[in-house]
Amino acid sequence: MRLTLYTDYSLRVLLYLADKEGEIVTISELADFFKISRNHLVKVVHNLGLKDYILTTRGRHGGLKLARPAKEILIGAVVRATEPDFDLLECFNPKTDHCVITRSCSLKSVIFNAQAAFLGELDKYTLADMANAPKKALPSFKSIPIVHS
């Protein structure tokens, strides 16, 4: 169970922009700060622009900034907008589903509701809650992270 680096990077970019709310930031500045591939960031930023999370301006003195106040951007919405898919089980995608028990199986709805719970939990927080917030003010880990051999 993973999210893609795309989503990870998308969240980092928005976090950075929220920290500097109002300021214009360039992709190069982001790449420098996070020490990650500028090329990769270009696509992340492009996608965030398409999904109306940021405003981009080209040309000299161009750059990007949040399209909306940080407190209006839900974390869950960002994840929904950046993950390529949410095909948790084969049967989630009718195009590729070959499971012989899809019709009678009740697992699908249970897993789907779990996914809804996941995103719902994320929707409890906004970018503003994350940016510059003292770490201790946020919910702490409720249990020990799961580790597999």
Partner DNA sequence: CATTAATATATATCCTGAATGCATCTTATT
Partner DNA sequence: AATAAGATGCATTCAGGATATATATTAATG
Contacts to DNA by CB under 7 A: 4-6, 26-28, 36-40, 42-43, 45-46, 49, 56-64, 84-85
104 touches a copy of itself by CB under 8 A: yes
DSSP code string of 70-135: GGG-BHHHHHHHHSS----SGGG-TTT---TTTTT--HHHHHHHHHHHHHHHHTT-BHHHHTT--G
52 touches a copy of itself by CB under 8 A: no
Could you tell me which residues come within 8 angstroms of residue 61 by beta carbon, excluding any fewer than 6 positions away?
24
* Binding at 69: pick from a copy of itself, DNA, none (beta carbon under 5-8 Å per type): none
38 touches a copy of itself by CB under 8 A: no
If the CB atoms of residues 38 and 124 are measured against DNA, the closer one turns out to be 38
Angstrom distance (rounded) from CA 51 to CA 119: 18
Shortest CB 41 distance to DNA, Å: 9
71 touches a copy of itself by CB under 8 A: no
| CB neighbourhood size of 58 (10 A) | 7
Selected range binding a copy of itself among 38-46, 53-61, 62-70, 91-99, rule: CB under 8 A: 91-99
* Phi, psi values for residue 63, rounded to 5°: 155, -160
Shortest CB 61 distance to a copy of itself, Å: 26
Q: Which residues ranging from 6 to 25 are in contact with a copy of itself (CB under 8 A)? A: 8, 11-12, 15
